[in-house]
Amino acid sequence: MQLRGRTAIITGGAGGIGRAAALLFAREGAAVNIVDMNPEGEKIVREIQSAGGRALFEPADVTRADDCRRVVNSTVREFGGIHILFNNAGIIRRASVLETTELGWSAVIAVNVKSIFLMCREVIPAMASAGGGSIINTASGWGLAGGARAAAYCASKGAVVLMTKAMAIDHGPQNIRVNCICPGDTDTAMLRDEARQLGEEENRFLADSAKRPLGRVGRPEEIARAALFLASDAASFVTGTALVVDGGGLAASG
């Protein structure tokens, strides 16, 4: 029960890494607000509640300031405070700069970067008033090293890494730790959608994604455990870091 008595907001919480984190955080004692446009969040709430946990599903567009404000207000009203924010909402568009439309570029930046800015701007005052807390942002291995036909995504995740470091500097005096996770390819719907975007056969794409020292793609639960570490007191002296969780995919880079 590493998170007993704490409240967590998880954006993009209805599927993949977000779903795994919501279930894990709840098992570890946190009350969880699952924020997503996907109504599957309701099923996760029922699963958590049936196991004796506390959870709320909040349909919201985290690229909109009003929605982010509503999420924070309802979380405080329902659970009394906010101790953990896991900014996990994200999208990918597999395209080079020449292939990327202005609309596509803006969508990636809005979901992957702007949403973190908006959520943090709303959460930090509530978190500071509660004595501090932990913010975890989902970046990517491609926020530390480039990838083919993913210009907007790489730009957005590089921004997440440096925004994380900047916020860690600004808000450390408020006892707020800010870190990011840099997952490698993880078996989620988003990874499979990449195959469709690139016009590749799904099984072949997943096999290529598994070409890393550990010889496989990650599982959402493995990324969620890294988020749990950063959310918990086990990481009490960890802030401003980019934690790579990628099966060794970046081991030979740089």
Residues carrying an active site annotation:
153
Q: Tell me the sheet residues that pair with 61.
A: none
Cα–Cα dist 26/72, whole Å: 18
Q: Tell me the sheet residues that pair with 182.
A: 244
Cα–Cα dist 160/114, whole Å: 10
**Any residues with CB less than 8 A from the CB of 156 and at least 6 apart, and which?**
108, 109, 112, 113, 143
**Any residues with CB less than 8 A from the CB of 21 and at least 6 apart, and which?**
10, 13, 86, 88, 223, 224, 227, 228
Residue 199 Cα distances to 33, 101, 128, 169, angstroms: 36, 18, 46, 42
H or E stretch including 85? Answer: strand 84-87
